[in-house]
Amino acid sequence: MRNFMTLIAATAVAVSFATAVCAQQSPLPLASDTLIRYGDDIEGWTVYANKTRGDCLIVSSFGPGSVQMGVAADQSVGYLGVFTQVDIGVQNGLKEIFVDIDGHLYNGVVTTTNGQLKGGYSGGYILTDNPDFKRDVAKKYTMTVFPQTAGAFVVDLRGTYKAMAAGRKCLAEQTPG
């Protein structure tokens, strides 16, 4: 019962944070943004400089899907986007999402994009400023999206630490300073 109450409290905090983040300018990449490949691929990850927004993101493909990660140009908030061609039962709009990273459960509100992506992809983005989440994505090896649901899928996180370092280098070169 205590874990359940903690989860409810954490959910309320995540929902309020996501609402506040959405009210600010979104750091999420748009289909109209100009992305330029930055350097060589790193352990299955490709780094892109977003010339439209002046930031960078890293992208990796896994089986029927793709993962995108990045931060706002001012580094105030990061995002994780997970997209798949598998039917995960996600509809357009805001939806609570859970991810399990090597046994650590995180939640947030994901802005879904079902039906708006080419190639039959659906999924969405989690916005966060949680340093534990960022550390686990960088240092852990397996992320399960929608754990304990019929639409659950696993993402291999190998190489994220090095790719995130390259993304930070890319970002430093995009912003004057």
Each residue of 86-126: pLDDT tens digit? 766 665 556 677 889 999 998 776 665 555 566 777 777 88
pLDDT band at residue 76 using 50, 70 and 90 as cut-offs: confident
Higher pLDDT, 116 or 38: 38
User: Taking a C-beta distance cutoff of 8 angstroms, is the pair 126, 79 a contact?
Assistant: yes
H or E element in which residue 94 lies: strand 93-101
Q: Which of 28-37, 52-61, 142-151 shows the lowest per-residue confidence on average (mean pLDDT)?
A: 142-151
- Across the range 162-175, mean pLDDT stands at 92
User: Taking a C-beta distance cutoff of 8 angstroms, is the pair 98, 88 a contact?
Assistant: no
- Please say if the pLDDT value at position 140 is more than 80: yes
- Across the range 126-138, mean pLDDT stands at 90
Higher pLDDT, 155 or 24: 155
